[in-house]
Amino acid sequence: MKKLLIPFLLLGLAFSVNADMNQHKMEAKKITGAFFNELKGELGKGMKAGGPVTAIGICNAVAPALAAKHSKETGWEVARTSLKLRNPANAPDAWETKVLKQFEDRRAKGEGPDTLAYAEKVEEGGQEYFRFMKGIVMPPAEKMPCLKCHGENIDPKTAAKLDELYPQDKARGYKAGQVRGAFTLKKKL
């Protein structure tokens, strides 16, 4: 009887670890969705109020503030990152760089934008973390205005404003369908 019990206990443990992972993943997805919706809302308001030049000013102040707000509210570290940055403060660490490259590979192999996510339990400096990333793929111009500020044909006034605020900007020249970056979330376990 005892011999049987041990495999069952191990199986039970494996299931509960998996259930925990799924729980964290669901929470991370929810936070990502809320953050993205608020970002799109603020961006839309800015675009309506005064086009891209006004919206850049809003993005510049609001995007980091929203990330900070979601981090404070949820206890997760919430941010955006990319391999081609606009704001150097959004730079990826080694784990994020690896996952961003993985997203580009998956995209190149034909994976759709909606499933581009990755979660892992990692150990850093003796502490365990749950880390999650959700890829951000450039939508076509008729769906969202992203390409106005990240695309190939940026209006000169918009480009001048970007030059002023982000002298090292690399986040231009994108085409619809390319991986622009990712939401990145991290929580202490």
The answer to whether residue 64 forms part of the interface with ligand HEC (CB under 6 A) is: yes
Q: Which secondary-structure segment (H or E) carries 186?
A: strand 179-188
The answer to whether residue 31 forms part of the interface with ligand HEC (CB under 6 A) is: no
Residue range at the interface with ligand HEC (CB under 6 A); choices 11-19, 25-33, 57-65, 118-126: 57-65
Smallest gap, in angstroms, from Cβ of residue 169 to ligand HEC?
A: 8
The answer to whether residue 148 forms part of the interface with ligand HEC (CB under 6 A) is: yes
User: Of 21 and 176, which has the nearer Cβ to ligand HEC?
Assistant: 176
Smallest gap, in angstroms, from Cβ of residue 102 to ligand HEC?
A: 16
Residue choice 32, 42, 66, 181 for contact with ligand HEC (CB under 6 A) = 181
- Give the DSSP letter string of 119-133: EEEEEETTEEEEEEE
Residue choice 66, 83, 133, 136 for contact with ligand HEC (CB under 6 A) = 136
Cα–Cα dist 10/144, whole Å: 48
Cα–Cα dist 106/182, whole Å: 14
Question: How many other β-carbons are positioned within 10 Å of the β-carbon of residue 100?
Answer: 22
Sheet with 117-124, edge to edge strand ranges:
77-81, 179-188, 127-137, 117-124
Q: Which secondary-structure segment (H or E) carries 134?
A: strand 127-137
The answer to whether residue 151 forms part of the interface with ligand HEC (CB under 6 A) is: no
Of 125, 157, 128, 129, the residue nearest 56 (C-alpha): 157
- Describe the crossing of helices 156-165 and 2-74 by its angle, rounded to 10 degrees: 100
The answer to whether residue 92 forms part of the interface with ligand HEC (CB under 6 A) is: no
Helices in the chain by DSSP H: which ranges? 2-74, 94-108, 147-150, 156-165
The answer to whether residue 185 forms part of the interface with ligand HEC (CB under 6 A) is: no
The answer to whether residue 85 forms part of the interface with ligand HEC (CB under 6 A) is: yes
The answer to whether residue 56 forms part of the interface with ligand HEC (CB under 6 A) is: yes
The answer to whether residue 43 forms part of the interface with ligand HEC (CB under 6 A) is: yes
Q: Which residues bind ligand HEC (CB under 6 A)?
A: 40, 43, 52, 55-56, 59-60, 63-64, 80, 82, 85-87, 90, 136, 144-146, 148-150, 171, 180-181
